[in-house]
RNA sequence: GGGGGCAUAGCUCAGUUGGAAGAGCAACGGCCUUUUAAGCCGUAGGUCGGAGGUUCGAGCCCUCCUGCCCUCACCA
């Protein structure tokens, strides 16, 4: 305890004085009759004098001697409370003097308006529910430091009202996705996060170990293969909203764990998925945010369906002036764009590279890019009109990939060939093993299906108008702050 | 991993050419029964991210380290 601040010492002294008065500074259950926001917003004159109970955190105190006003914040908003020495009595009014900003209290009293017209609870009793022994960030500017806001999200939520609102909106948006899919006859399922073979994508996995079975397991990079097993098992419309884990870089569009929505519809295809995704996104945007137009950085984005559909080869030609299957042309353009060793790279890598450097960042309005080269998508059915292409689309918006969907490959023999081909050219760090169990199930028959993966955090970036993924994830990955841990350990 | 930037009181921020570390809010003491970022009087609060170096003298210049931000690379 040798390291405590003057602020903490003062607050601990007040805490002791409360105890001396027989008051537990960490009270128990306190049934509220109103949340602050609704009480204030829906107040009507005929409520005047009604006994109410409110609770929350003290965010401002304006004391005038024998009368004290305070702002009580909860997650719905704030309500002013008023303590008068005459009304609450000398004993309790002394306790008011022992309160600090940040303390959590319950107040019972009669609701009414002050002479300036502010809805106020005129306290008759006060219950201390939690004494804060550290000071809060400043009341006016809030907490600005982006590092502190991410590391100490609770302080961010307390001090910055908009952070709380965005966290609540995130929940509403995800509930909206669930509601939309449920209404369309999809059911939510949960599939393994820990997988013996990390499949469904080509990414470096996190590795862990199960002691009792003595086996290594991988945190999933995708739920795809398990969801398809459910299709094999006869579940016709399934979705999962859950975390994927990829052991890769961190950026304002990437977090090592991120929330993915995957949807599978038996007897559908990539076209049915196009209709589903544009309608789903527009519905949620309208229902939760009340609009379809959003500002993203310096761009305006309109989510109104239908979204334009462009073939990969066409858009590559338009933006990059490259013929998709002309290898020499591709190498020429890649070299122009500054790709290293363009002559030695596989043409698929070059396609990817040229696409990212010329097209991806340019597509701001939500756009379906369809018919990518088949080899980029080993789980996708090939296009009957041109087997070099796949029945696939990606949704590009605001310069990044929002969603990816296939007509799912359901021919087990072709699937096996694709897996083998993928293993041959897999990147270092990825796990290369044939998922025989998955293939066996497909060999028993998998219905044709449309499948969709949508990055939920990225959708939230657009709907909440945040250009950094960290701003829509409550606890983004941060390097541990050791100085903090040490001081916490020594003072605790 | 490369390049650039930031780090000053609990919080939000100033700090000039290298010459005595500041303000607002918060805190503490006092006055005050209708305030709204309450007000007035007074007080206290600092390892200037860390470690070295240059200098008579470093918050400021140099080197290294740590964390974060931006950007490039990586990343279906």
The string of pLDDT tens digits covering residues A373-429 is 998 899 999 999 999 999 999 999 998 899 999 999 999 999 999 999 888 877 766
Q: What is the rounded CA–CA span in Å between residue A237 and residue A452? A: 12
A391: exposed, middle or buried (Cβ count in 10 Å: 0-12, 13-18, 19+) = buried
Task: Grade residue A176 by pLDDT with cuts at 50, 70 and 90.
Answer: very high
Decide: CB of A84 under 7 A of nucleic strand B: yes
Instruction: Note the pLDDT of residue A115.
Output: 92
Instruction: Note the pLDDT of residue A491.
Output: 30
Tens of pLDDT along A65-97? 999 999 999 999 999 999 999 999 999 999 999
Q: Which of helix, strand or coil describes residue A299?
A: strand
Q: What is the rounded CA–CA span in Å between residue A263 and residue A186? A: 8
Decide: CB of A58 under 7 A of nucleic strand B: no
User: Which range, of A130-139, A145-154, A332-341, A467-476, averages the lowest pLDDT?
Assistant: A332-341
A263: exposed, middle or buried (Cβ count in 10 Å: 0-12, 13-18, 19+) = buried
Instruction: Note the pLDDT of residue A428.
Output: 66
Q: Which of A285, A269, A259, A222 is nearest to A405 (CA)?
A: A269
Task: Grade residue A342 by pLDDT with cuts at 50, 70 and 90.
Answer: low
Say if strands A187-188 and A237-245 run parallel, antiparallel, or are unpaired: parallel
As a dihedral over the C-alpha atoms of residue A173, residue A258, residue A255, residue A294, rounded to 10 degrees, the angle is: -20
ipTM score: 0.91
Tokens representing A197?
A: 């073979």
Instruction: Note the pLDDT of residue A237.
Output: 98
- The single residue listed with the structure tokens 């209404």 is A183
Q: What is the rounded CA–CA span in Å between residue A247 and residue A429? A: 9
Q: Mark the nucleotides of strand B covered by protein, meaning any atom under 7 Å from a CB.
A: 1, 10-13, 24-28, 31-39, 44-45, 49, 66-76
Decide: CB of A141 under 7 A of nucleic strand B: yes
Tens of pLDDT along A45-61? 999 999 999 999 999 99
User: Which range, of A183-197, A236-250, A336-350, averages the lowest pLDDT?
Assistant: A336-350
- The single residue listed with the structure tokens 């970036």 is A461
Tens of pLDDT along A104-147? 999 999 999 999 999 999 999 999 999 999 999 988 889 999 99
Is the torsion defined by CA of A88, A91, A97, A99 positive or negative? negative
State, as a whole number of angstroms, the distance between the CA of A149 and the C1' of B38. Answer: 29
Q: Which residue has the higher pLDDT, A5 or A198?
A: A198
A469: exposed, middle or buried (Cβ count in 10 Å: 0-12, 13-18, 19+) = buried
Is the torsion defined by CA of A379, A384, A389, A392 positive or negative? negative
Instruction: Check pLDDT > 70 for residue A1.
Output: no
Q: What is the rounded CA–CA span in Å between residue A280 and residue A456? A: 12
Instruction: Note the pLDDT of residue A312.
Output: 93
Decide: CB of A478 under 7 A of nucleic strand B: yes
Chain centroid, CA A306 distance in Å: 25
Tokens representing A250?
A: 């961190």
**Measured between alpha carbons, how far apart are the two ends of chain A, in Å?**
7
Q: Which residue's CA is nearest to the C1' of nucleotide B12?
A: A141
Q: What mean pLDDT is predicted for residues A347-355?
A: 80
- The single residue listed with the structure tokens 């004391």 is A63
Tens of pLDDT along A216-265? 999 999 999 999 999 999 999 999 999 999 988 888 899 999 999 999 99
Q: Which of A122, A106, A23 is nearest to A68 (CA)?
A: A122
């Amino acid at each position: 305890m040798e390291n405590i601040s003057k602020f903490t010492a003062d607050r601990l002294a007040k805490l002791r004085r409360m105890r001396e008065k027989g008051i537990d500074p960490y009270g128990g259950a306190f049934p509220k009759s109103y949340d602050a926001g609704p009480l204030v917003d829906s107040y009507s004159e005929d409520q005047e004098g009604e006994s109410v109970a409110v609770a929350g955190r003290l965010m401002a105190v304006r004391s005038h001697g024998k009368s004290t006003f305070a702002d009580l914040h909860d997650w719905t908003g704030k309500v002013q409370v008023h303590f008068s020495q005459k009304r609450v009595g000398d004993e309790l009014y002394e306790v008011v003097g022992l309160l600090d900003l940040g303390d959590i209290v319950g107040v019972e009293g009669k609701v009414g308006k002050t002479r300036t017209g502010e809805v106020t609870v005129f306290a008759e009793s006060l219950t201390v529910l939690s004494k804060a022994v550290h000071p809060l960030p400043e009341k006016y500017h809030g907490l600005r430091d982006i590092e502190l806001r991410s590391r100490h999200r609770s302080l961010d939520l307390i001090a910055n009202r908009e952070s709380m609102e965005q966290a609540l909106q995130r929940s509403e948006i995800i509930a909206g996705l669930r509601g939309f899919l449920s209404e369309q006859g999809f059911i939510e399922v949960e599939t393994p996060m820990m997988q013996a073979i990390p499949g469904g994508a080509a990414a470096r996995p996190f590795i862990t170990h199960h002691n009792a079975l003595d086996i290594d397991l991988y945190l999933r990079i995708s739920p795809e293969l398990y969801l398809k097993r459910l299709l094999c098992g006869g579940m016709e419309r399934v979705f999962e909203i859950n975390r994927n884990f990829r052991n890769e870089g961190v950026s304002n569009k990437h977090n090592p764990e991120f929330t993915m929505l995957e949807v599978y519809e038996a007897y559908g295809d990539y076209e049915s998925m196009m209709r589903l995704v544009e309608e789903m996104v527009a519905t949620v945007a309208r229902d939760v945010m009340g609009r379809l137009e959003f500002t993203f950085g310096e761009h305006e984005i309109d989510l109104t369906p239908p979204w334009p559909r462009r073939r990969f080869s066409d858009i590559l030609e338009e933006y990059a002036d490259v013929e998709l299957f002309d290898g020499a042309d591709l190498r020429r353009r890649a070299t122009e764009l500054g790709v290293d060793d363009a002559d030695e790279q596989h043409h698929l890598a070059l396609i990817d590279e040229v696409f990212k450097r010329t097209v991806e960042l340019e597509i701001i309005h939500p756009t379906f890019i369809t018919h990518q080269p088949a080899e980029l998508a080993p789980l996708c059915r090939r296009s009957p009109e041109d087997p070099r292409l796949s029945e696939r689309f990606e949704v590009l918006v605001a310069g990044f990939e929002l969603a990816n969907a296939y007509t799912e490959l359901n021919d087990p023999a072709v699937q096996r060939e694709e897996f083998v081909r993928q293993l041959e050219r897999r990147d270092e760090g990825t796990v290369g093993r044939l998922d025989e169990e998955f293939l066996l199930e497909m060999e028993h028959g998998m219905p044709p299906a449309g499948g969709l993966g949508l990055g939920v955090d990225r959708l939230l970036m657009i709907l909440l108008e945040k250009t950094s993924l960290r701003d829509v994830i409550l606890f983004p990955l941060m390097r541990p702050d050791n100085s903090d841990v040490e001081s916490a350990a020594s003072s605790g």
